[in-house]
Amino acid sequence: MKKLIFFSLLLSCISLWAQETLVINGVVKDAQNNETLAGVNILFPELQTGTVTNDYGFYSIKVPAGTHRMEVSYLGYQSVSQRIDVQNDMKLNFQLSTAAQDLEEVVITDDSERLNIRKPEMSVNKLEIATIQKQPVVFGEVDIVKSLLLLPGVSNAGEGSSGFNVRGGAADQNLILLDEATIYNSSHLFGLFSVFNPDAIKNLKLYKGGIPANYGGRVSSVLDIYQKDGNSREFEANGGIGLISSRLLAQGPIEKEKSSFLIGGRSSYAHLFLKLTDNENSAYFYDFNTKLTFRLDQRNTILFSGYFGRDVFNLSDSFKNIYGNSVFNLRWNRVLKDNIFSNLSLIYSDYYYGLTLDFVGFNWNSGIKNFNFKYDLDHYLNRNLSLDYGIHSTWYEFNPGEIEPNSASSGIIPRELIKKYALESAVYLSVEHTISEKLSAEYGIRYSNFLRMGQEELNLYDESPVTYNQRFGIYQQADPVGVKTSEKNEVERSFGNFEPRLALAYTFAEDQSVKLSYNRMTQYVHLITNTSSPTPLDVWTPSGKYIEPQSLDQVAAGYYRNFANDEYSLEIEGYYKTLRDRLDYIDGANLIANDAIEQVILPGEARAYGAELLLKKNKGKFTGWLAYTLSKSEQRTPGRTPIEPGINNSEWYATAYDKTHDISLTATYEVSQKWDFSANFIYQTGLPTTYPTGQYVFENMTIPVYADRNSNRLPDYHRLDISATYTPKKRSEKAYSSSWNFGLYNVYARKNAVSINFRENDDTSVNEAVKLSLFGIVPSVTYNFKF
């Protein structure tokens, strides 16, 4: 009897395994421009199974032999449903048409930002470019980063500040990828605009937690952005003309259906109007995007993408500042087998900062370069189990700065700060597993290794690069006792870390689930800045003999629900994360052109915790969302010995980007096919700052006495923005189309404080506080076109 039962079970297992051997794969594209679509749902409702396309539009799934109903759906597109007879491995490609093409009077407002209840993915936000383009922004320039600030858990250090902060993390702790290449500065004009041309962007994801194992190198978040591949069917162009900037993008086939190009550019030109007033100052930016795609056959695709951007500041031709990013990526997509997709990438990234001071007579250049090799594979084992695995390796070259005379008479002696080199490598394995009808998981492991290579000169110290002067109660720079010289191919120090990842989703109803995630991340490169918002002058430095890598642990839990046939969605998440070896700076630290940065930094720790709420209306003429974040972000630098006070007497203090309350209300109302209106309202707790509490006179000098670090706050921040878009009706499907966007930024002219400075009034000799505000009410008009 036992043998019979065992034999029956064995036959059942063999039968099930045989059923899992038939593979259906293919690529899903936009029917109009042949653009691949990421995140498309491939469903077999009768089998209660399915998958989604990857970042390159590829899918693969195993199903048992037989006749099954297959559904292909993507929000904003017409769904495809058909019955297929599966007797052998099959390749099925799909072309999806936009839902609005055949519906003249029904406005389609579905978007792919709705929550996926069953998927273990959490703490992830996806924004459609169409949604971003409707948001009112300063000067009318559509901005991806500004749109991210409307989401829970995302903020920045105020108006005119660069970068963004995620769940209490610093701006340098965000990994920003454009077609897999690292962007080191995401802002133009010190934060007024982002470097991303929205016309060139296909999709984006922001990972705030539960970060998959294929990402590493930063501890706070990942912003993953992909450019469009280019239209391989017909030529098209679109752009916009605004008050201070314009943009133009063109795309079309090189060989129809097989290859395509995309090229786009933006530039601001407000500085040209200054010349009409004999004003010699100027500030402007320009950038270029490009993409070449060659589909060699059904299994092989070659892609080349690039970005180049620069910001230029001139002050009366005596001061000139140029900075920006350059990135290039050569990729090879290959379907190795029907259920294995591979991507090989060779990437170059360069962030450059240049400064010319004619009144002093020198040029200053600094930056960071990296060369990156990536090989990633998506392996679809069966309908319940898929693997992602790969290897990454990045070579870094850090240029802290070099000074050279810009004329023979300047008298400046050339000087080059010591360049630094490093090699960061990683291997990873990630598993997406449907455990049961209600329980699914994504788990994996990443092992990262960082080699700090040799350099021309490395200071040596008796004990530590930073000493404590007990007599004066201050930290001071230690004097080197020697110098070590080594070649850049020698290993100065090696680090290795395991980074586990886990995400679980339990669906207890068709429209409700709870999720839990944990991730450990390690960051080996650091932005040297002691400001709340990074500036172009800040430099990056690697971990090494005196600087440990940052290491973070984050746990998050959430409740998710869709209402009224997905018309509404609710997401509530709580998180807690701790960070070790976060750099802090001694009082009076000089960070600019410092060749021994280890002499002014101390290792500390940080923690952040909070709750986030996102309530969205996804359908109808009226759409939008309410985002609320309640959070705390703190750091602490304790003394290294019992006699040392540390920073701030070893007490926890608020980080420069801590905001207790952050509320964003975003709404869009489509009145008709011609008119739609949008509005944003933002309220935030004021940023931490440090005010003086008193003063004393020493040798005829007035010396202020300051409170503990970040123990005060700026006034609360709030602002209302509105915009209206007018779209004339097209005469035919392929005709020239256009729209007008009218906006008002900061409608009620709130004077939000960027900073508050204290000074002595020249007339009354009384101390006074002076508030600095950047913007009052700012109108904008932008003309957009497409042909």
Q: Please give the pLDDT value at position 359.
A: 66
Q: Which segment, 364-368, 535-539, 632-636, is predicted with the most confidence on average?
A: 632-636
φ, ψ for residue 746, nearest 5 deg: 65, 65
Is the model more confident about 154 or about 269?
A: 154
- DSSP reduced 3-state for 651: coil
* pLDDT attached to residue 9: 39
581-597 mean pLDDT: 83
For residues 125 and 114, give the distance between their C-alpha atoms in angstroms, rounded to a whole number.
Answer: 10
Torsion 516-520-526-532 (CA) sign: positive
Average pLDDT of span 558-573:
90
Q: Are 137 and 745 in contact (CB under 8 A)?
A: yes
Q: Give the mean pLDDT of 79-103.
A: 81
CA dist 487 → 455, 461, 493, 545 (Å) = 6, 20, 13, 15
pLDDT at 114: 40
Quick one: pLDDT at residue 703? 77
Say if residue 248's pLDDT is above 90: yes
* Confidence (pLDDT) at 535: 65
pLDDT > 50? residue 505: yes
State the Rg of the chain over Cα.
28
* Displacement of CA 547 from its chain's centroid (Å): 25
pLDDT in tens, 414-426: 888 889 999 999 9
pLDDT of residue 12: 40
Confidence of residue 100 (pLDDT cuts 50, 70, 90): low
pLDDT at residue 764 is higher than 90: no
Our CA angle for 383, 386, 391, nearest 5°, is: 165
* Residue-level pLDDT at 758: 82
208-214-217 Cα angle (round to 5): 65
Residue 579 structure tokens: 């960070």
Does this model's pTM top 0.85? My answer is yes
In a 3-state reduction of DSSP, which class is residue 149?
A: coil
Residue 583 is encoded by which pair of tokens?
Answer: 């750099």
- The pLDDT-based confidence of 108 (bands split at 50, 70, 90) is very low
Highest mean pLDDT among 45-59, 130-144, 476-490, 601-615: 601-615
Residue 6: count of CB within 10 angstroms of its CB: 10
Poorest-confidence range of 70-74, 547-551, 555-559? 70-74
State the pLDDT at residue 17: 42
pLDDT at 18 over 80: no
pLDDT band at 692 (very low <50, low <70, confident <90, very high): confident
Place 659 in a pLDDT band, splitting at 50, 70 and 90. very high
pLDDT digits (tens, 9 = 90+) for 721-732: 999 999 888 766
Note the maximum CA span of the chain: 105
In contact, 132 and 111? CB cutoff 8 Å: no
Indicate the SS3 state at residue 173. Answer: helix
Mean pLDDT of 89-97: 90
Choose between 43 and 608: higher pLDDT. Answer: 608
pLDDT at 253 over 50: yes
State what percent of residues in the chain have pLDDT above 90: 51
Looking at the predicted structure, is the pLDDT value of residue 1 above 70? no
DSSP three-state, residue 5: helix
pLDDT band at 119 (very low <50, low <70, confident <90, very high): confident
Residue 139 has pLDDT above 80, yes or no: no
Strands 66-73 vs 94-96: parallel, antiparallel or unpaired: unpaired
Reply yes or no on whether the pLDDT at 636 is more than 80: yes
In the block, which residue shows the tokens 């608020």?
Answer: 654
- The answer for residues whose C-beta is within 8 angstroms of residue 293's C-beta and 6 or more apart is 229, 230, 232, 259, 260, 261, 301, 302, 303
* pLDDT band, residue 103 (cuts 50/70/90): very low
Percent with pLDDT over 70 in the chain? 91
For 222: left if phi > 0, alpha if psi spans -120 to 50, otherwise beta; the answer is beta
Contact by Cβ (8 Å): 425, 390:
no
Distance CA(726)–CA(721), nearest Å, equals: 17
Reported as a single tens digit per residue, the pLDDT across 61-80 is: 988 888 999 989 887 788 88
Of 639, 599, 645, 644, give the one whose Cα is nearest residue 476: 599
Q: Is the pLDDT of residue 243 over 90?
A: no
Per-residue model confidence (pLDDT) at position 533? 60
pLDDT reported for residue 378:
95
Span of 107-121, 159-173, 546-560 with lowest mean pLDDT: 107-121
349 φ, ψ to 5°?
-135, 135
Task: Please report the sign of the dihedral spanned by the C-alpha atoms of residue 140, residue 145, residue 149, residue 155.
Answer: negative
Scanning 306-383, the segments in alpha helix (DSSP H) are: none
Compute CA distances 467 → 276, 313, 601, 746, whole Å: 56, 39, 11, 48
- Pairing state between β 165-166 and 22-30: unpaired
The residues with which 682 forms a beta bridge, in sequence order, are: 664, 719
Compute φ and ψ for 44, nearest 5 degrees. Answer: -120, 90
Place of tokens 């008709």: 672
Using CA atoms, how far apart are residues 496 and 445, in angstroms rounded to an integer? 13
Among 93-107, 341-355, 744-758, 762-776, which is the least confidently predicted range?
93-107
Q: Token pair for residue 345? A: 């990438």
pLDDT bin (cut points 50, 70, 90) of residue 682 is very high
pLDDT for position 538: 73
As a whole number of angstroms, the distance between CA 48 and CA 53 comes to 17
406 or 228: which leads in pLDDT: 228
- Mean of the per-residue pLDDT values for the chain? 87
pLDDT band with cut points at 50, 70 and 90 for residue 16? very low
pLDDT-derived band at 6 (thresholds 50, 70, 90) equals very low
Mean pLDDT check: name the lowest of 15-19, 239-243, 488-492, 586-590: 15-19
Burial class from Cβ neighbours inside 10 Å (0-12, 13-18, 19+) for residue 436 reads exposed
pLDDT digits (tens, 9 = 90+) for 260-294: 999 999 998 876 666 666 667 788 899 999 999 99
Higher pLDDT, residue 270 or 451: 451
State which of 220-224, 696-700, 777-781 shows the largest mean pLDDT. Answer: 220-224
